[in-house]
Amino acid sequence: MCIYLSLEAVNSATADRIWAQHWRFLYSLPLSRTVGADVRKETDMQYGPAVRRRKLGAELRALRGQAGLTSGEAAARVGWHQSKVSRIETGRSGVRASDVRLLLEAYEVDDPQLRELLVVLAGGEDENGRPHWWHAYRGLLPPAYRDFISLESQACRVRTLETTVVPGLLQTPDYARAVTRAALGGLPEEQVRDLVQVRLARQDVLRSEPPLRLSVILDEAVLRRQIGGPEVLAGQLRRLLEAARLPQVRIQVLPFVSGEHVGLIGPFVILSFPNISDLDVVVLDHLTSSLYLERKEDLQAYTDAFNSLQGQALSVQDSMDFIAGLGDGA
């Protein structure tokens, strides 16, 4: 169950400055340096409203085709002009969650996961017309972070390489609090509390049905960095061991002795989604923005990199033994 909190207004100038410098830590997606990457316009790489509209429109067009309807027939079923259906399918027009639900009814789509995912892409509401839990924090969270949370909430699988901090989905409250205070120095304690609450609410995906499948590769430095001090780190290591007992969570450690590896270019996250493989994205975090790579060649390259790192890392059991050993000495 997610907790809704009332938030006081945030000074916009201060908030913009803070987020521009440090918002990556609220994802717990460390700074990424893409060595040798091709240079593309930033608008092509951000997973913003335009990209969401295009992907949502393409999926709705495919569902209409599966239903055997022309755009005119679909429009007639929901009482619209054909041009509105066309604008939605080509991504030229925004679409409300209620409009998506109308189209899904017209196309007789009854898969609950697919329905929820498409409604989330429209933004604002869930399948039942209720605001998403993160909507309560809209005055505090930048749009990019809300976009990430919305995608994470609907992903069926997350694969992540982390080199500086424990992933947000596995952080303890004390660890998350220490990270937030360090990254957003000077932020009022009430807002620190709310940001930690957001982090904990994100972790509900590990308890959902079906639960998110989470595969994590941690550089040894993550496990040794005493964020919050020895006691906080010890508690965080215990949390990792507890999470690793979940059948859908896989944690592996890249020890220092593993030497050079492809992960040296920087951390990354791969988000995968049920029923819509075209929606899969790679997330690379930078100091003031996040980049979302969706081209097939990018997805394949990072998938290959993750698979290579899994082979180079300690086995799951050896990783748990490694973490337990560090915990004994923490």
pLDDT band at 194 (very low <50, low <70, confident <90, very high): very high
Nearby residues of 290 by Cβ (< 8 Å), 6 or more positions away: 24, 27, 29, 46, 47, 144, 148, 283, 284
Residues in the chain: 330
Q: pLDDT (tens digit, 9 = 90+) per residue, 152-172?
A: 988 899 999 999 999 999 999
Q: What is the pLDDT of residue 91?
A: 83
φ, ψ at 219 (rounded to 5°):
-65, 145
- Separation CA 71–CA 86 (nearest Å): 7
Q: What is the pLDDT of residue 43?
A: 38
Nearby residues of 269 by Cβ (< 8 Å), 6 or more positions away: 29, 158, 159, 160, 161, 282, 283
> What is the residue extent of each domain of the chain?
18-32+141-329, 50-122
Confirm if 276 and 117 have CB atoms less than 8 A apart. Answer: yes
Q: pLDDT (tens digit, 9 = 90+) per residue, 29-77?
A: 433 322 223 323 333 344 556 667 888 888 899 999 999 999 999 999 9
Nearby residues of 42 by Cβ (< 8 Å), 6 or more positions away: 289, 291
Q: pLDDT (tens digit, 9 = 90+) per residue, 243-278?
A: 999 999 999 999 999 999 898 888 999 999 887 767
Whether residue 210 is predicted with pLDDT greater than 60 in this model: the reply is yes
Question: Residue 267: is the preceding peptide bond cis (ω within 30°)?
Answer: no
Best CATH choice for the domain 50-122 from the list 1.10.3720.10, 1.10.260.40, 3.10.20.30, 1.10.1060.10: 1.10.260.40
Q: What is the pLDDT of residue 140?
A: 87
Note the helical H segments in the chain: 12-22, 24-27, 42-45, 49-66, 71-78, 82-89, 97-106, 112-122, 143-154, 173-183, 189-202, 220-224, 230-244, 296-312, 316-329
**DSSP tag of 131:** B
Q: Record the pTM.
A: 0.77
Q: Which two tokens stand for residue 196?
A: 């930690």
18-32+141-329 is a CATH 3.30.870 domain:
yes
- For 164, other C-beta atoms within 10 Å of its C-beta total 17
**Average pLDDT of the residues in 303-324:** 97
